[in-house]
Chains A and B, each alone.
Chain A
Amino acid sequence: MTSVTTEQTASATAPRVRPHVRDVVFVEGVRTPFGKARPDGIYAHTRADDLAVKAVRELLRRHPELPVERVDEVALAATTQSGDQGLTLGRSVALLAGLPSTTPGYAIDRMCAGAMTAVTNTASAIMVGAQDVAIAGGVEHMGHHPMGEGMDPNPRFVSEKLVDSSALVMGATAENLHDRFSHLTKERTDAFGVASQAKYAQALADGHISPDLVPVATRDPENGWGLATTDELPRPGTTVEAIADLKTPFRPGGKVTAGNASPLTDGATACLLAAGDVAEELGLSVRMRMVSFAFAGVDPEVMGIGPIPATERALRTAGLTIDDIGLFEINEAFAVQVLSLLDHYGIADDDERVNVYGGAIAMGHPLASTGVRLMTQLARQFAQHPEVRYGITTMCVGLGMGGTVIWENPHHADYSGHTTTQEA
């Protein structure tokens, strides 16, 4: 008798179902218009956390079918986590956005890949069954928080030559890439920059940009309230000639200029992730299914090549090759860094699968928020390209890292599905 009772107790306390990997789907992403990170920029008088709040609220507003109490996590990234980007952003923004106090949240930092990491972290929690629905995103108000603000690098970095002195200046690492890959000429990076502006202008005109934007009310004490509805930074009509002689701020006689690099930017992004079966249960639309992700490290002074090992690893995990990828969203921190990845895979600079709507050189790169912008755009392209089965979002990261997420297009004929079928 005794042994039977013990067995019963044991079975009652043991997990009924062991954690299993569940599919994670990308429901939707939104972002604020991106602004110029300067005292005369549209967000000069707007708080960073408020930008994130607007994005999160818009996301929830677009999904009335999602009961807010079903949001299990709010993970928000910022590179500088102080001031209006401090106070555990994910949690504070959840409270400010009117999510119930039962919704937890956290802040996250992997520099430029902050939002991307927020997505992979929350996705991981969903995969193991710990959570069902999450909001992930990021914000960077580079006007309020200049790059490197409050930074206090350990002196060992220099004394022990752990990293090159240029490693902490992102533009300098881009110049280093030019040194290493001399065939990636300034002519090619300038041309890439000009193309980014042109592709963005076309995408805007075609109505592919605005649907993902959240209008933000902005107040300027001198001029009163206004409404930001469009990106502030793009320079439509930019020509190769016009940018040929721009200053090279990172190195005398260098190659990196404002014409082939992303500008300093203010902005926020947010996206909704869910377990595939939960999306099904709640009737959430599915725009992408996460296939695999990877982060990888490289020498900090050539951080721009980070996407290469990250992509290799993500492809390997997914059991795919680069040839399976039909659409690429590659962050354009610097044109040279994009070209180094394309070059590695033998993809042409002007391949039409790459950055279809243009990239950060045109719209800007609010560091920790960009990752979700890439995903949001890929999701829209998936809907427009049902013939593409897999797409990639990838970016380089300061201190020598890269991150890549591979996604599957649910609109594709051979879509593998996202609901977990359990054996009885």
Chain B
Amino acid sequence: MSTDTRAERVTHSLVRDVALPGGTGTMALITMDNGLDHTKPSTLGPEGMAELTTALEGLKERAAAGEIVAVGVTGKPYFLAAGADLTQVAAVTTHDDARELGRNGHRAYTLLGELGVPTFAFVNGLALGGGFELALNCTYRTVASDAGALALPETGLGLIPGWGGAYLVPRLIGVEKAVDVILTRPAANKPFKPAEVLELGLVDALFGSADYLEQSIAWAESVLRGDVTVERRELDSPEVWDAVVHATRQRLDAVVADSRPAPGRALDLIAAARTATQADAFAAEDEALADLIMTDEMRSSVYAFQAVSQGKRPTGAPDKSLAKPVTRVGIVGAGLMAAQIAMLFAQRLGVPVVMRDLDQERVDKGLQHVRGTVEKLTGSGRMSADAGAKILASVHGTTDIQDFASCDFVIEAVTEVMGLKKKVFAELEGIISPDAILATNTSALSITEMAADLQHPERVVGIHFFNPVAQMPLVEIIKAEKTSDEALATGFAVAKKLRKTAVGCLDRPGFVVNRLLVLLLGKIAEAVEGGTPVEAADRALRPLGLPMPPFQLLDLVGPAVGLHVLTSLREDLGERIPQSPGLEKLVEDGTRLSLKPAAKGLPADVDPEIQSAFAATPGTGLDEAGVLDSVLTALTVEIGHMLDEKVIETPTQIDLCMILGAGWGFHLGGITPYLDRTGYSEKVLGRRLLPDGVANVPQG
């Protein structure tokens, strides 16, 4: 794999002397700069680290000679540093090399505390992972009001903050907040804003971006003169420390279980940070880092991270110049999905949107949903009043289908009944211009069939949104049998404007996400039908570390919707898609399947009461391992079919869909890396899905 790895983009440590304006002396100011523009963040590789180490050693001598009174570190515009270069980290092949990576960082950063003069980090821009740890290892820190993402995202990428973060953060801001910084935020993939890191105590001062560096240097001089004193909190008591670690451990057991090692390793380091010496703690970080770098979970995480990054530029889309302009959007239906779509189109496309339903009451309900959403956003300050007013002014409701006449793009979001959708399309064709695009948000029906009777079936394209539409980052763009390149390109162009990641797929049942997700749910139901107790079936997937257990997911999707998709899949794909009379009965009765979770963020267990809906005697079927095996086998089989049918171009596209459309974890790499590393793909399909080393530690 090393041949695929590009050379290190070396981030240089440029050092200049700054005369402190108040006359206190000279500050040596280091600028971390990779010499490239703002599209290429500075990252920290071995060469760059070596350069920083050399620079700091030189400054240590100058400090001893009395030439400088302080050292500052800042970055090129918009970035302090984006942390270690992940492609480089994922290219490491031995445990020793992995450990050296950690040590390299520690060697440089430890110097920041040993220069003999105070060190100041001026966090002028984005600082992630090792970039943020660069600041943490300094004596003092300021942050710019416009700094981009600030975070220690390591545990979300199968790593730990191993350049001092795991030791320094709990000591600096307290163990409880440290758990939030190191474990909770990375899991939610939500970096901090400048005001938040100030509030947390991760930085000591915040200055406006217009003269950030000037004010930071002036502040540093005040600190040097003693005019400003930075108070450091005392270490939390052993009792508090232990209690927080214990509670966090329990939470990890419930949420993460054994699906990935990084969070647990990070918590071990946090637990030890109260009493460990810095040297011991940093050595422990080196070991943890080395162990984790050599895990498949970490390699899959880097693979997944890159898949998501690259997913922003969809592959396989027709030339974007073929896309037709969208100047007026029609939405057929005014239900919950339709209203969400209307809101998003109005917000992101900035064009008039007409929402149509059969009676005024439904139309009003749809419009009310849009209004309610806007009011919520403007009320909380997340949207300006003007932007809200613009959206409300651009969304119209109607009961008259003739109002679609001037729309160049109409998307239907009516009930999932083929006859109804065909009727809608036929009706629309008589009204809209011959080259207007017709889109459907169906989740399981055949788009080819939906378009079959039209005069212009080539104008029909599938655009499948996920619920909730505003939050879910994925849309599946579906090419039916006769879909033209123009219609497809328009679908991709619209998705881009909506700021969604678009994945192109063929018109096969359930497309990508629903086909696998509903299959998984079906296999769980099938296990229960076969005599597995509902609790065991519910627990069986825990080793995967999915966002929630299966029955909770079914409740979220809506059991009726889930069952409908399951039934549709079975009609098309046949017997391998399970059927479940028990589930049908539960849907019929409208029974809720899962209990309320014990606390927010904890998984919701299945309600044991639903066992009675199933005919089988519990305990006579597969055990948890057996259920997991049946699910993974079924997923592998299905992925094999999907690739054979060319539903989607590559396994990585499937992974991208499952990560963004179903929230499946980076540690699984989506799903195909997991099936490779657990041997399912070899066993079931007789081949790997991804080449060795792409998303795992190479077998050599």
> Residues on A close to B: CB < 8 A?
53-54, 57-58, 96-98, 210, 214-217, 219, 221-227, 229-230
A selection of 18 A-B contacts at a CB cut-off of 8 Å is A53-B211, A54-B211, A54-B214, A57-B211, A98-B210, A210-B21, A214-B214, A219-B76, A221-B35, A224-B16, A224-B31, A224-B33, A225-B74, A226-B17, A226-B18, A227-B21, A227-B213, A227-B217
Q: Measured between C-beta atoms, what is the minimum distance from A396 to chain B in Å?
A: 33
Contact indicator per residue, chain B 14-52, by CB within 8 Å of chain A (1) or not (0): 111111010000000111010100000000000000000
Q: Does B208 contact A (CB under 8 A)?
A: yes
Closest residue of chain A to B18 (Cβ to Cβ) is A227
- Measured in the bound complex, the distance between the Cα atoms of B14 and A229 in whole Å is 20
Cross-chain contact B21 with A224 (CB below 8 angstroms): no
- Measured in the bound complex, the distance between the Cα atoms of B15 and A96 in whole Å is 29
- Measured in the bound complex, the distance between the Cα atoms of B226 and A263 in whole Å is 40
Cross-chain contact A221 with B213 (CB below 8 angstroms): no
Q: Return chain A residues, CB-CB under 8 Å to B16.
A: 223-226
Cross-chain contact B29 with A224 (CB below 8 angstroms): yes
Q: Measured between C-beta atoms, what is the minimum distance from A137 to chain B in Å?
A: 16
- Measured in the bound complex, the distance between the Cα atoms of B212 and A226 in whole Å is 13
Closest residue of chain B to A58 (Cβ to Cβ) is B211
Q: Measured between C-beta atoms, what is the minimum distance from A56 to chain B in Å?
A: 9
Cross-chain contact A225 with B19 (CB below 8 angstroms): no
Report the tally of A-B residue pairs with Cβ distances under 8 A.
60
Query: With A225-B16, A225-B74, A227-B18 known to touch, is A215 a contact of B218 (CB < 8 Å)?
Result: yes
Q: Does B186 contact A (CB under 8 A)?
A: no
- Measured in the bound complex, the distance between the Cα atoms of B208 and A96 in whole Å is 11
Q: Measured between C-beta atoms, what is the minimum distance from B41 to chain A in Å?
A: 16
Contact indicator per residue, chain B 183-210, by CB within 8 Å of chain A (1) or not (0): 0000000000000000000000000101
Q: Which of A216, A221, A226 contacts B29 (CB 8 A)?
A: A226
Query: With A223-B14, A226-B16, A227-B29 known to touch, is A97 a contact of B210 (CB < 8 Å)?
Result: yes
Closest residue of chain B to A227 (Cβ to Cβ) is B18
> Residues on B close to A: CB < 8 A?
14-19, 21, 29-31, 33, 35, 74, 76-77, 208, 210-214, 217-218
Q: Return chain A residues, CB-CB under 8 Å to B30.
A: 224
Cross-chain contact B210 with A96 (CB below 8 angstroms): yes
- Measured in the bound complex, the distance between the Cα atoms of B74 and A227 in whole Å is 13
- Measured in the bound complex, the distance between the Cα atoms of B618 and A89 in whole Å is 78
Query: With A227-B18, A227-B217 known to touch, is A219 a contact of B208 (CB < 8 Å)?
Result: no
Q: Return chain A residues, CB-CB under 8 Å to B35.
A: 221
Cross-chain contact B29 with A98 (CB below 8 angstroms): no
Q: Measured between C-beta atoms, what is the minimum distance from A222 to chain B in Å?
A: 8
Cross-chain contact A225 with B29 (CB below 8 angstroms): yes
Closest residue of chain B to A215 (Cβ to Cβ) is B21
Residue among A58, A222, A229, A230 having the largest count of chain B Cβ atoms under 10 Å? A229
Q: Measured between C-beta atoms, what is the minimum distance from A342 to chain B in Å?
A: 35
Q: Measured between C-beta atoms, what is the minimum distance from A57 to chain B in Å?
A: 5
Residue among A58, A219, A227, A230 having the largest count of chain B Cβ atoms under 10 Å? A227
Q: Measured between C-beta atoms, what is the minimum distance from A42 to chain B in Å?
A: 12
Q: Return chain B residues, CB-CB under 8 Å to A230.
A: 19
Assuming A219-B77, A222-B14, A229-B21, what are 16 further A-B pairs, CB within 8 angstroms?
Answer: A53-B211, A96-B210, A98-B208, A210-B21, A214-B214, A215-B214, A215-B218, A217-B212, A221-B35, A223-B16, A223-B31, A224-B16, A226-B16, A226-B18, A227-B18, A227-B217
Q: Return chain A residues, CB-CB under 8 Å to B18.
A: 226-227
Q: Which of B15, B17, B214 contacts A216 (CB 8 A)?
A: B214
Query: With A225-B16, A225-B74, A229-B21 known to touch, is A217 a contact of B210 (CB < 8 Å)?
Result: no
Cross-chain contact B214 with A227 (CB below 8 angstroms): yes
Cross-chain contact A227 with B19 (CB below 8 angstroms): yes
- Measured in the bound complex, the distance between the Cα atoms of B30 and A229 in whole Å is 18
Q: Measured between C-beta atoms, what is the minimum distance from A27 to chain B in Å?
A: 20
Cross-chain contact A224 with B213 (CB below 8 angstroms): no
Q: Return chain B residues, CB-CB under 8 Å to A58.
A: 211
Counting from the closest, the 9 A-B pairs by CB-CB distance are A224-B31, A224-B14, A217-B213, A227-B18, A215-B21, A226-B16, A225-B31, A229-B21, A217-B214
- Measured in the bound complex, the distance between the Cα atoms of B218 and A216 in whole Å is 11
Cross-chain contact A219 with B214 (CB below 8 angstroms): no
Q: Return chain A residues, CB-CB under 8 Å to B33.
A: 221, 224
- Measured in the bound complex, the distance between the Cα atoms of B145 and A98 in whole Å is 12
Query: With A223-B14, A224-B30 known to touch, is A215 a contact of B217 (CB < 8 Å)?
Result: yes
Cross-chain contact A53 with B31 (CB below 8 angstroms): no
Q: Return chain B residues, CB-CB under 8 Å to A97.
A: 210
Cross-chain contact B217 with A217 (CB below 8 angstroms): yes
Q: Return chain A residues, CB-CB under 8 Å to B76.
A: 219
- Measured in the bound complex, the distance between the Cα atoms of B15 and A223 in whole Å is 7
- Measured in the bound complex, the distance between the Cα atoms of B214 and A96 in whole Å is 16
Q: Return chain B residues, CB-CB under 8 Å to A216.
A: 214
Q: Measured between C-beta atoms, what is the minimum distance from A40 to chain B in Å?
A: 14
- Measured in the bound complex, the distance between the Cα atoms of B35 and A221 in whole Å is 7
Q: Return chain B residues, CB-CB under 8 Å to A215.
A: 21, 214, 217-218
Q: Return chain B residues, CB-CB under 8 Å to A225.
A: 16, 29, 31, 74, 213
Q: Return chain B residues, CB-CB under 8 Å to A224.
A: 14-16, 29-31, 33
- Measured in the bound complex, the distance between the Cα atoms of B16 and A221 in whole Å is 12
Closest residue of chain A to B17 (Cβ to Cβ) is A226
Q: Measured between C-beta atoms, what is the minimum distance from A182 to chain B in Å?
A: 46
Q: Return chain B residues, CB-CB under 8 Å to A53.
A: 210-211
Q: Measured between C-beta atoms, what is the minimum distance from A270 to chain B in Å?
A: 13
Query: With A224-B15, A226-B16, A227-B21 known to touch, is A217 a contact of B31 (CB < 8 Å)?
Result: no
Residue among B14, B29, B211, B214 having the largest count of chain A Cβ atoms under 10 Å? B211
- Measured in the bound complex, the distance between the Cα atoms of B17 and A228 in whole Å is 11
- Measured in the bound complex, the distance between the Cα atoms of B195 and A309 in whole Å is 56
Q: Measured between C-beta atoms, what is the minimum distance from A287 to chain B in Å?
A: 22
- Measured in the bound complex, the distance between the Cα atoms of B19 and A90 in whole Å is 31
Q: Measured between C-beta atoms, what is the minimum distance from A230 to chain B in Å?
A: 8
Closest residue of chain A to B209 (Cβ to Cβ) is A98
Q: Measured between C-beta atoms, what is the minimum distance from B14 to chain A in Å?
A: 3
Q: Return chain B residues, CB-CB under 8 Å to A227.
A: 18-19, 21, 29, 213-214, 217
- Measured in the bound complex, the distance between the Cα atoms of B33 and A154 in whole Å is 48
Q: Return chain A residues, CB-CB under 8 Å to B77.
A: 219
Q: Measured between C-beta atoms, what is the minimum distance from A129 to chain B in Å?
A: 32
- Measured in the bound complex, the distance between the Cα atoms of B15 and A225 in whole Å is 8
- Measured in the bound complex, the distance between the Cα atoms of B210 and A216 in whole Å is 11
Q: Return chain A residues, CB-CB under 8 Å to B210.
A: 53-54, 57, 96-98
Cross-chain contact B14 with A217 (CB below 8 angstroms): no
Q: Measured between C-beta atoms, what is the minimum distance from A155 to chain B in Å?
A: 43
Q: Measured between C-beta atoms, what is the minimum distance from B12 to chain A in Å?
A: 8
Q: Return chain B residues, CB-CB under 8 Å to A214.
A: 214
- Measured in the bound complex, the distance between the Cα atoms of B211 and A53 in whole Å is 8
Q: Which of A54, A96, A210, A219 contacts B31 (CB 8 A)?
A: A219
Q: Measured between C-beta atoms, what is the minimum distance from A154 to chain B in Å?
A: 40
Q: Measured between C-beta atoms, what is the minimum distance from B96 to chain A in Å?
A: 34
- Measured in the bound complex, the distance between the Cα atoms of B31 and A226 in whole Å is 9
Closest residue of chain B to A213 (Cβ to Cβ) is B21
Q: Measured between C-beta atoms, what is the minimum distance from A168 to chain B in Å?
A: 36
- Measured in the bound complex, the distance between the Cα atoms of B33 and A223 in whole Å is 9
- Measured in the bound complex, the distance between the Cα atoms of B18 and A215 in whole Å is 11
Q: Measured between C-beta atoms, what is the minimum distance from B366 to chain A in Å?
A: 36
Q: Measured between C-beta atoms, what is the minimum distance from B222 to chain A in Å?
A: 14
Q: Which of A210, A217, A222 contacts B211 (CB 8 A)?
A: A217
Q: Measured between C-beta atoms, what is the minimum distance from B660 to chain A in Å?
A: 37
Q: Return chain B residues, CB-CB under 8 Å to A221.
A: 33, 35
Closest residue of chain A to B30 (Cβ to Cβ) is A224
Q: Return chain B residues, CB-CB under 8 Å to A219.
A: 31, 76-77
Q: Measured between C-beta atoms, what is the minimum distance from B522 to chain A in Å?
A: 57
- Measured in the bound complex, the distance between the Cα atoms of B252 and A347 in whole Å is 86
Closest residue of chain B to A217 (Cβ to Cβ) is B213
Closest residue of chain A to B145 (Cβ to Cβ) is A98
Q: Measured between C-beta atoms, what is the minimum distance from A43 to chain B in Å?
A: 14
Q: Measured between C-beta atoms, what is the minimum distance from A53 to chain B in Å?
A: 5
- Measured in the bound complex, the distance between the Cα atoms of B89 and A209 in whole Å is 52
Q: Return chain A residues, CB-CB under 8 Å to B213.
A: 217, 225, 227
